[in-house]
Amino acid sequence: MIKFPLTELLDEQACYEWLLKILHPKGLHCPSGHAIPAGQAPHDRQRTPIVKYKCRECGKVFHIFTGTDLSGSHYTCGQIVLILRGFLQGQTTQHTAEELGLDYGTLLSWRHHQRRGFAHLINGNLPDAEAEMDEMFQNAGEREQKRSNSRPTKTTRESTQRQGTMANDRPPIVGTVGRNSGQIRMKVCDNTQQITIQPQVEVTTLPTTTVYTDESDAYNRIPASGRERQTVCHSQREYARDEDQDGFCEVHCNTMEGIWVGLRNFLRPFRGIHKKYLYLYVAMFEWAYNLRWIDFDFLRRLLFPPSTYLPT
């Protein structure tokens, strides 16, 4: 990926005003909620256009990033805009840091902090009458662990490929997609046992939903929850079936399997992700897939700590 720094080509004032609209859609206020009187001069102009104001009512000194995850940052407005753009488009942290001349470790910490902030916000049942469920196994280990010099046997390798778990560094990702809404839900799990998969079925689909899966035993409890289950048998090379003989093969989970291609392409540039942080990257992909177009509300959630989100 070619590095093409743009910081010097960006208008700092324009970037400042764009960030102001995101962080303070009703106008800049002090941390106590007091508005800045019209015509009030800044208290400190050392980092123009990021100027500080002193509230005339409570005496607090504040600026555009006070109370946000950027409150102690020394990044310029142009750098912040490019960092957000790079993160949301799946650019690697290493590439962003080198392109903007920033510290990699600091940038990586901020990236993980951002993703923790909204990963827990992805929840709720999909409203669709029909949904597909499937699982994908993603290689994700621990970078600091020592690798064994002994080569695993063929039986061991085949077993690992068949049964990925968090313990053997191939954590499964369980995905659900609604056929009408097109929305997805994903979760990184420890394994694909029924006791692990069934709760994910119930938190992502309605009790009246028809769920389409492959023949995996992990989904055998679906009918017990009141949901209808339709399956295709991949082991017998069956990938779609016309159950009602109307000329349309409605029994399949190909939509979800196609989404796995998108997720793998999203994860590939990072060239290895620690399994501890895999759920953060999966959450980012899920948000991007569901939103398609980034809006101000999403960016606001990204820049405010979850406990203090409800900005002025």
pLDDT of residue 303: 85
pLDDT recorded at residue 47:
93
How confident is the model at residue 310, as a pLDDT?
Answer: 41
Q: What DSSP string runs through 144-196?
A: TSPPPSSPPPHHHHHHHHHS--TTTT--EEEEEEETTT--EEEEE-S---HHH
* Fold of domain 130-142+155-291: Nucleotidyltransferase; domain 5 (3.30.420)
The pLDDT assigned to 177 comes to 97
**And the tokens for 206?**
């309605």
Of 70, 81, 61, which is closest to residue 10 (Cα–Cα)?
A: 81
The domains of the chain are located at 7-102, 130-142+155-291
Residues 6+ apart with CB under 8 A from 258: none
Q: Consecutive 10-residue runs of the chain (312 residues): their mean pLDDT? A: 83 96 92 91 94 95 93 92 89 92 92 73 84 95 55 45 83 97 95 95 96 96 96 92 89 96 93 89 89 81 64 38
Q: How many CB atoms lie within 10 A of CB 173?
A: 22
Report d(CA 157, CA 238) in Å as an integer: 26
> What 3-state DSSP class applies to 228?
strand
Contacts of 200 (CB under 8 A, 6+ apart): 174, 176, 185, 187, 189
Nearest CA-CA partner of 266 in 254, 284, 290: 284
pLDDT at 143: 60
Confidence (pLDDT) at 154: 45
CB 3 within 8 A of CB 95: yes
Omega cis (within 30) before 172: no
The pLDDT assigned to 156 comes to 44
pLDDT for position 200: 95
Q: Give me the residue label for tokens 């999403």.
A: 298
